[in-house]
Structure 1
Amino acid sequence: MVESTTKRQLVIIGGAEDKENDSQILREFVRRAGGTKANIVIMTAATELPREVGENYIRVFERLGAENVRIIDTETREDATSSTALEAIQKATGVFFTGGDQARITSILKDTEIDTAIHKRFSEGIVVAGTSAGAAVMPDKMIVEGDSQTNPRIEVVEMGPGLGFLPGVVIDQHFSQRGRLGRLISALLQEPAVLGFGIDENTAMVVTDNQIEVIGEGVVTIVDESEATYNNLGEILKDEPLAIFGSKLHILPNGYKFDLKTRQPILNNGTVPDGSVAVGSTNT
């Protein structure tokens, strides 16, 4: 059997990315989506201002040289069966989910023809990106809403189904700026996942198959529950504090990488902390 060489690529952005200056993160998305030959579809389901938000991204992507950029505005689930929209996705080399309300994205798009089409194209190698709410929907179980700047408790976060582009993890955005460590830990303990990612504003985690690279001005905070020795989730009421022992915490700035399979951070010279070369990594 010939092994597929198609790469699955995601650009997951913590929100408030630079759109006016160097636009490092959006530039990387356009580059991966085909550069000057990129055909980009902007999904505005999350926002109540689809034209205003969509046209702002059109301006940025065209400035960066994308050949073709168009908006798909889905206000209802009926819109998610549009033949015109499905044809645009079939031709796209990149799909970009804007910010807004992540619950709007899933309520309108999940399990529709557009959802199926985007997943099919993703498996074929197009780049899927999302910022803020568009980042929140990337796992199979997402944070719908929750309290910031608080200690971990069951009640501080509400979970719901995501779109499942990066299953088995939990993602939060606007992370350091809104003090969301407590709600990320709360979400992680309630879901069958061992990795939680908190992405700062103007920062992204770029996923290529099983490896993540951080780009931008902030950091990605990773909480690894895989070797945790204890939590009190089954012993407390929903308003009582959570306890957790033995978790790992990684802080990754621009240029650092992380292997999703081995759950190891990778230094920006391509080695893991013990000095060995990371699997699948190349020095640049």
Structure 2
Amino acid sequence: MEVNSKQELIIIGGAEDKKEDCQILREFVRRAGGTKAKIVIMTAATELPRDVGENYIRVFEKLGAEDARIVDTETRDDAYSSTALEAVSKATGIFFTGGDQARITSILKDTELDTAIHKRFAEGAVIAGTSAGAAVMPDKMIVEGDSQTNPRMEIVEMGPGLGFLPGVVIDQHFLQRGRLGRLISALVQEPADLGFGIDENTAMVVTDKQIEIIGEGSVTIVDVQDTYNNMGEILKDEALAICGAKLHILPHGYKFDLKTRQPILNNGYIPDVPVLANSEKI
């Protein structure tokens, strides 16, 4: 296939609409080729691969994709299957379902199928993932952790991801499960200093170092570059302190520049200082 230098990721916070307008999945199909899209559904994360996969097949076929098929990998041996490798080699869109992100990496990472998926991504296939499928996008991922609690070292476990978007941390079901504390805990532990918390039925579309938000919720961006934290002074179960962090909350239509680490407002202006919604001073 012809090489396409435009690499695109669609990273979904989970619970995306599959019955009505299907805004996020519609955008995935459109970017993967529209009516010529050939979509592979990776079900490694779920223990119900047939049910989950067939549900997505129905949606993608309804939206007009030329072909949508399941690649089910229950074991690492399946990640060397010639059938799976052939399907991925022809795919214009590769979709990772939700479930357990640890299953994805334990089955796929460093296999022939993992290599093949990265090759297709480099050639221009669109990679998308929802929930657990979103968690695996960075090179270091949140494996599991407590929600709705203050930041502490003990509340989050990290592990290797698939590395489609290195140098960041991603969390999903963000607002719905109160995961700000665990995202901050993950950032403090990892070399990454940029974290993205994606709400349900919301996605960030990553293209050429720029992110666009689509869907009904928001993406919370936490930037801990050049901040202070007390990680070296506390025990594992003691509260983390972090000072100087930046927080951006971006809804549908807003963009974020990964190079400048700044939001892009609807008028295209990238602010150097906070912009108030009105002219009144507090």
Residue of structure 1 in register with 2:232 after alignment: 234
Residue of structure 2 in register with 1:127 after alignment: 126
Partners of 2:4 and 2:94 lie apart in 1 by 20
Partners of 2:38 and 2:68 lie apart in 1 by 6
Residue of structure 1 in register with 2:146 after alignment: 147
- Per-residue deviation at 1:271? 2.1
- Per-residue deviation at 1:18? 0.2
Residue of structure 1 in register with 2:276 after alignment: none
- Per-residue deviation at 1:269? 2.5
Partners of 1:270 and 1:84 lie apart in 2 by 45
CA displacement 1:88-135 (0-9 Å, x = unmatched): 111000000000000000000000000000001101111000000000
Partners of 1:244 and 1:194 lie apart in 2 by 12
Partners of 2:42 and 2:132 lie apart in 1 by 11
TM-score using structure 1 length: 0.94
Which of 246, 255, 271 does residue 253 from structure 2 map onto? Answer: 255
Identity %: 84
Q: One-letter code of the match for 1:241?
A: A
Residue of structure 1 in register with 2:187 after alignment: 188
Residue of structure 1 in register with 2:178 after alignment: 179
1:92-131 aligned at under 5 Å gives the runs: 92-131=91-130
In structure 2, the CA distance between the partners of 1:5 and 1:268, relative to structure 1 (3 Å rule), is farther
Aligned partners of 2:4 and 2:123 also within 8 Å: no
Partners of 2:105 and 2:177 lie apart in 1 by 23
- Per-residue deviation at 1:65? 0.4
Q: One-letter code of the match for 2:263?
A: P
| SS of match in other structure, 1:176 | helix
1:65 aligns with 2:49: no
Partners of 2:193 and 2:107 lie apart in 1 by 28
- Per-residue deviation at 1:274? 5.2
Task: Give the unaligned 5+ runs of structure 1.
Answer: 276-284
TM-score using structure 2 length: 0.95
CA displacement 1:57-109 (0-9 Å, x = unmatched): 00000000000000000000000000011011110000000000000000000
Flag as ranges the 4+ runs of structure 1 deviating above 3 A: none
1:208-223 aligned at under 5 Å gives the runs: 208-223=207-222
Residue of structure 2 in register with 1:278 after alignment: none
| SS of match in other structure, 2:175 | coil
Residue of structure 2 in register with 1:268 after alignment: 266
- Per-residue deviation at 1:5? 6.4
Residue of structure 1 in register with 2:278 after alignment: none
Number of aligned residue pairs: give it. Answer: 271
Partners of 2:271 and 2:243 lie apart in 1 by 23
| SS of match in other structure, 1:177 | helix
| SS of match in other structure, 1:183 | helix
Partners of 1:176 and 1:232 lie apart in 2 by 26
Q: One-letter code of the match for 1:167?
A: P
| SS of match in other structure, 2:84 | helix
Residue of structure 2 in register with 1:75 after alignment: 74
